[in-house]
Structure 1
Amino acid sequence: MSIHLVPYPDYCGESGILVMRSLQQDLNKALQQEDWEKVRQLDRICVLLIDRVISANRENKSTLVRALSELKGVYAGLIAQCHQEVTLLHAT
């Protein structure tokens, strides 16, 4: 048996944006499926990922703005969906 190390992800530049986009896709999928446990899990991961992307791109502000702007859209959708769910609960 041999051990294979998994390379540490690169959060610099485009690589960081791609990792953020992958998480965003997973989050959008969980939202569409109304898998709230998965949404909570991905939200916790997102906090850590944002910290790593920020740390890796301190000198590259445009990368940070792009990554965080895209993520902002995902969270705006999440908030809208939560409002909709609450409205439906109060209507019943």
Structure 2
Amino acid sequence: MKNKRTLLAAIALTSLISAGVISHAQAEQLTVPVGTQADRSQISLPATGMTQESVRNRWGAPQDMKGPIGEPPISQWHYPDFIVYFEHNRVLHSVVRRNR
């Protein structure tokens, strides 16, 4: 996943430079200490491709819902321990919430 994001960022940057939108660029590498990352192995998360109906059946109603916005429509369902991102009515990604 990290390599895919890096490749996409490099392609986008190259396109912007080629188009003359930007004349130079700087990159910064961000590091996140392991202790601050959420542990995905300790929680059951919705899998990519699940329907909104199957997520609701397994985890119940979300605490909060945002969207949909954009095209394709992306919406968020907020649960106490994670956030689920949907494209149309299918899970795009699930993210563990960091302890607040």
TM-score (norm 1): 0.25
Q: Which structure's relative contact order is higher, taking Cα pairs within 8 Å and 6+ residues apart?
A: 1
TM norm structure 2: 0.24
Q: Which structure shows the higher strand fraction?
A: 2
Greater helix share, 1 or 2?
1
Report the structure number with the largest CA radius of gyration.
2
